[in-house]
Structure 1
Amino acid sequence: MNVGIVTSFIVAGLMILSIMAFNHSIYTSSAETTITTINQNNLDNLTEIISNDMNRIGYKTGSSDNFNHIYSQDVEFQGDIYDNDSHAVTTVRWYLDTSDSVSTTTNSNDVYLKRTGPTSDGSISTLKYPVTHFELKYFAGDGTETTNTINVKSIQVEVVMESGEYHTTRSDGKKQYHRTVWKRTFVPNNLNF
Structure 2
Amino acid sequence: MEEVLQQLEKKVRSIVQPNDQEWQAFTQKWRPFSFDKNHRVTELGEVEPYFYFISEGVIRGYFIKNGEEFNIGFSYHGEYSGVYDSFMLQKPSQYALETLTETSGIRIKYHDLMPLFDQYKVFERWGRLFNQSVLVGFGVFIQSILADSAEERFNRLMDQSPHIFQLVPQKHLASYLGMSAETFSRMRKKTM
Normalising by the residue count of structure 2, what TM-score does the alignment of the two structures yield?
Answer: 0.25
Q: Considering only CA atoms, is the larger Rg found in Structure 1 or Structure 2?
A: 1
Higher helix share: 2
From the two aligned structures, give the one with the greater strand fraction: 1
* Higher RCO structure (Cα 8 Å, ≥6 apart): 2
